[in-house]
Amino acid sequence: MERYAIFGDILYSEADMKVMERPSSYLIIRDGKVEGIEGERPRDMVVHDYEGMLIIPGLIDMHLHAPQYQFAGLYMDEELLDWLNSHTFPEEGKYSDLNYAEKAYHIFTQDLLRCESTRFSLFATIHSKSTLLLASMLEEAGFAGYVGKVNMDQNSPDYLCEDTEASIKSTVEVIEAMKSLKNIKPIITPRFIPSCSRELLTALSGISEEYDIPVQSHLDENLSEIEWVHSLIPESQSYADAYRLFGLIGRKKTIMAHVVWPTDEEIELLKSANVYVAHSPSSNSNLSSGIAPVRKMMEMGVNVTLATDVAGGSSLSMLRMMTHAIEVSKLYYRHIDQNFRPLSFNEVLYMATRKAGSFFGKVGSFEPGFDADLIVLDTSDIHTTVYDQLSLSERLELYAYRQAGRAVSAKFVKGKKIL
Amino acid sequence: MERYAIFGDILYSEADMKVMERPSSYLIIRDGKVEGIEGERPRDMVVHDYEGMLIIPGLIDMHLHAPQYQFAGLYMDEELLDWLNSHTFPEEGKYSDLNYAEKAYHIFTQDLLRCESTRFSLFATIHSKSTLLLASMLEEAGFAGYVGKVNMDQNSPDYLCEDTEASIKSTVEVIEAMKSLKNIKPIITPRFIPSCSRELLTALSGISEEYDIPVQSHLDENLSEIEWVHSLIPESQSYADAYRLFGLIGRKKTIMAHVVWPTDEEIELLKSANVYVAHSPSSNSNLSSGIAPVRKMMEMGVNVTLATDVAGGSSLSMLRMMTHAIEVSKLYYRHIDQNFRPLSFNEVLYMATRKAGSFFGKVGSFEPGFDADLIVLDTSDIHTTVYDQLSLSERLELYAYRQAGRAVSAKFVKGKKIL
């Protein structure tokens, strides 16, 4: 790939969470990475002109369920465990049919292209073929990220339950098959403790080690779920400790979604194991799970990132997740604990770009050497007398609150224009 | 106005909050009111064809500040009283300049046309001329609703504070001047207790009686505000009682916004006075005010409706308010009191249409005799394998969660097509 430039109003998070703003500037890309930012128009290279538009690092969705996308925005009348049985498992069961998977995953991929995300870590289903189909669709679309074939060998309906041996075997098969992909990578995905026998959990930890592959799962989303885990693994000190006992926290890079009800000891464990928490405010509201103690976890040094968690979450928009995270943090402050002040816009932007990006490598910022993942946002539909006085950060905030969810104007991943 | 029909997928709330669905049907309008719904194409009349689109009663925004729209989505870093001083009062002060008011209110009116609202009750500023300008713009645009010239004669910055006499006088002048308007009506608008001297409050009550005009104000939004009111009116049993003492609750139709922290006695008072509560979930989150006890108030027989409260609220979208109300009710259930179950989609639809409509007359439904206020929603950007199996209500829910805030495809108010 050659060298080219992108012109527009550029902004990104720095390491200290401040926002660097470079209005009317040129982002120079070389070999899929940011080379630098110039004030003058560069010569001898193609310039993608997005004058007046916001250029930001692509947002990163750290947890979502691709097979649930078809009903995102519906069926949120129950809490987690009932919701899984009523709506989620039946829908995921359909992906045993490769034709259905093709239709559904095509819709998902098209909408993912238009949304604000450039990278992700997602759950597929237990079905290897459908999972590989999804992975190849996403690779072809030009995305980068993790796609996890899910493991479930107990406490699951017959049509969505694997033999332990078959679950282990297909996990390895999917990993092997995905070696032919360049940007979409496998991730070990036990659905959650209740879905997986001790034997399966242990085996998955071994595969994670052997293939040097990250791990993702759910943690502390819902009170009934936590009780259930305690009854299943009574020797564990906590839900997080249960994962740790089976080698699924503390060994490899790990994403844990939700973490709404962690004990202080669990937070310490997440911190010492450098786990990435995928905070999912939309889902946690929709399924009445609660408000996660984000500020507390941040203060205790845990990596906190954001996620749509489609379809507990009802939107694919990461900008929406950013404002939603701010909103629920204000309710947490007001109703739960005033020692933990609300999140700021700079903080949620950092979480959705640079912080999440660190899970993948040098991703989520526009400093030299970072992968050139970015989105272009058209603010021309926003009319206000104060617009010209606003900083780029304030314009982005306006866009986030008023227009999140609209199709982005352009999207680049690792320097390649994919929309 | 003659008789015509609107074809599409029609749905509306019935009196018991159930949703009546009439797919592929014709809504017959005569003289600005609903005549009926037919399954067969009517002869000898114009048919507006919105095949495949959702036709619903226009949503009703029961509380918003037109002069704050320019910064909706910004500046939400403080709680109510500081936020008023830092951002809101300075912006409202600009409306002493009629040129600024023209620019700003033009932007507001255009965006209001595109959003999901057909009716509203809004606050302008203390400035009579700007208020009348806004009222005439909204009348010309074809809207129906209430526009309130605001009263503030104490505890306000010099540039936004009136002489008591001048405040009273201009209130009457605005009422008189608005007699020439057909669909936009005046409403008595003391900003809130702290802004208004006892003399002013008393006089406003008198004007309300004399001219038979409704009243609107703020109530129990924020804890510091409530303490302040108590110190100003120490003989009052509560904030609501303070309004009652001055004849501003209990005499005329009244809208009270927020009501986040009511005592049980206040709720009883609101019920017995048939007050309409304008629940503002976006604003109450953004300014860290809290979650209003909506279910409790509903169970105690209070009229609860919804509002954007721009620009404590960050969006003009009433569909967004509907889903936001559901979300915060789930957090209330989880974190505050499990005796009060979350709101359902049917309930918030009813609140935003029929319930709010009852403040205005026969508004907010498609039963014969109701005003023909309606919006047309294009769901063709929603792709999902399950679409064809969905009820109209579920399609509306999908649209609300995924696409709220987009420009509506068409808008009719009292039978007249205004967008």
Q: What is the pLDDT of residues A94-123, one digit of tens each?
A: 999 999 999 999 999 999 999 999 999 999
Strand-strand pairing, A215-219 and B416-417: unpaired
Closest in B288, B291, B383 to A111, CB measured = B383
Give the number of other CB atoms < 10 A from CB of residue B45. 14
Mean pLDDT calculated for residue range B300-307 = 98
Q: What is the pLDDT of residue B1?
A: 61
Can you point out the beta strands (E) in A14-149?
A: 19-30, 33-38, 46-57, 59-65, 117-123, 144-148
Q: Do A35 and A29 contact (CB within 8 A), yes or no? A: yes
Mean pLDDT of chain B: 97
Percent over 90 (pLDDT), chain B: 99
Q: Greatest CA span in chain B, whole angstroms?
A: 66
Residue A280's nearest CA partner among A65, A58, A19, A18 is: A65
- What Å distances lie between residue A245 and A207, A211, A241, A249, A269, CA to CA? 16, 20, 6, 8, 12
- What Å distances lie between residue B29 and A13, B7, B34, B102, CA to CA? 54, 11, 5, 34
Percent over 90 (pLDDT), chain A: 99
Torsion from C-alpha of A71, A77, A78, A84, nearest 10 degrees: -10
Torsion from C-alpha of B242, B248, B252, B253, nearest 10 degrees: -80
Which structure tokens are listed for B147? 């526009």
Burial group, residue A142, by CB count within 10 angstroms (0-12, 13-18, 19+): middle
B98 interfacial to chain A (CB closer than 8 Å): no
Distance CA(B24)–CA(B41), nearest Å, equals: 10
Percent over 70 (pLDDT), chain A: 100
Interhelix angle for A392-403 vs A318-335, to 10°? 90
Q: Which of B91, B309, B330, B343 to mutate to test the interface with A (most CBs of A within 10 A)?
A: B330
Check the CA dihedral A266-A267-A272-A273 and report its sign: positive
Mean pLDDT calculated for residue range A75-79 = 95
Residue A291's nearest CA partner among B290, B334, B329 is: B334
Please name the residue ranges forming H helices in B351-416.
356-357, 392-403
Interface contact A401-B72, CB threshold 8 A: yes
Residue A219 forms beta bridges with which residues?
Answer: A258
Residue A340's nearest CA partner among A399, A292, A376 is: A292
For residue A136, report the phi and psi dihedrals to the nearest 5 degrees.
Answer: -70, -35
Q: How many Cα atoms sit within 13 Å of B225 on the Cβ side?
A: 26
For residue B329, report the phi and psi dihedrals to the nearest 5 degrees.
Answer: -70, -30
Contact partners, residue A59, CB within 8 Å, separation at least 6:
A116, A117, A118, A318, A319, A322, A352, A353, A375
Q: What is the pLDDT of residue A131?
A: 98
Distance CA(B48)–CA(B180), nearest Å, equals: 31
Which residue of chain A has the CA closest to B287?
A330
Q: What is the pLDDT of residue A61?
A: 98
Can you point out the beta strands (E) in A176-334?
A: 184-186, 189-190, 215-219, 254-258, 276-279, 303-306
Helix (H) or strand (E) holding B295: helix B294-299
Mean pLDDT of chain A: 97
For residue A40, report the phi and psi dihedrals to the nearest 5 degrees.
Answer: -95, 150
Report DSSP letters for A167-201, one per residue.
HHHHHHHHHHHGGG-SSEEE-BEE--GGGS-HHHH
pLDDT at B142 over 90: yes
Distance CA(B50)–CA(B9), nearest Å, equals: 8
Closest in A77, A323, A385 to B107, CB measured = A385
Q: Which positions 12-71 of B are in contact with A (Cβ < 8 Å)? A: 69-71
Distance CA(A319)–CA(A400), nearest Å, equals: 5
Give residue for tokens 């009196």: B15
Distance CA(B251)–CA(B204), nearest Å, equals: 12
Q: Do B145 and B138 contact (CB within 8 A), yes or no? A: yes
Distance CA(A141)–CA(A419), nearest Å, equals: 9
Q: How many angstroms separate the CA of residue B176 from the nearest CA in chain A?
A: 30
Residue B398's nearest CA partner among B411, B374, B380, B419 is: B380
Burial group, residue A158, by CB count within 10 angstroms (0-12, 13-18, 19+): exposed
pLDDT at B83 over 90: yes
Q: What is the pLDDT of residue B111?
A: 98
Give residue for tokens 């209005």: A23
Q: How many CB pairs under 8 A join A and B?
A: 116
Q: Do A210 and A247 contact (CB within 8 A), yes or no? A: no
Percent over 70 (pLDDT), chain B: 100
A78 interfacial to chain B (CB closer than 8 Å): no
Task: Write the single-letter amino acid at A304.
Answer: V
Domains, in order of start, for chain A: 3-58+365-417 (2.30.40.10), 59-357 (3.20.20.140)
Closest in A111, A291, A385 to B70, CB measured = A385
Which structure tokens are listed for B370? 């109701």
Helix (H) or strand (E) holding A112: helix A98-114
B173 interfacial to chain A (CB closer than 8 Å): no
Q: Which positions 129-168 of A are in contact with B (Cβ < 8 Å)? A: none
Confidence of residue B303 (pLDDT cuts 50, 70, 90): very high
Give the number of other CB atoms < 10 A from CB of residue B149. 28
Interface contact A100-B342, CB threshold 8 A: no
- What Å distances lie between residue B376 and A352, B9, B48, CA to CA? 35, 9, 11
Distance CA(B400)–CA(B378), nearest Å, equals: 12
Give the number of other CB atoms < 10 A from CB of residue B264. 10
Say whether the ipTM exceeds 0.90: yes
Q: Which positions 265-294 of B are in contact with A (Cβ < 8 Å)? A: 282, 285-291
Q: Do A110 and A86 contact (CB within 8 A), yes or no? A: no
Which residue of chain B has the CA closest to A327?
B285
pLDDT tens-digit map of B347-366: 999 999 999 999 999 999 99
Confirm whether pTM is higher than 0.95. Answer: yes
Interface contact A314-B331, CB threshold 8 A: no
Give the number of other CB atoms < 10 A from CB of residue A335. 16
Which residues in chain B have Cβ-Cβ distances shorter than 8 Å to A74? 386, 390, 394, 397-398, 401
**Tell me, what DSSP letter sits at residue A124?**
-
Q: What is the pLDDT of residue A2?
A: 84
Mean pLDDT calculated for residue range B265-278 = 98
Cα A237 from chain centroid (whole Å): 28
Give residue for tokens 């071994």: A206
Q: What is the pLDDT of residue B2?
A: 84
Residue B32's nearest CA partner among B154, B126, B170, B142 is: B142
Burial group, residue A206, by CB count within 10 angstroms (0-12, 13-18, 19+): middle
Which residues in chain A have Cβ-Cβ distances shorter than 8 Å to B395? none
Confidence of residue B260 (pLDDT cuts 50, 70, 90): very high
Q: Greatest CA span in chain A, whole angstroms?
A: 66
pLDDT at A1 over 70: no
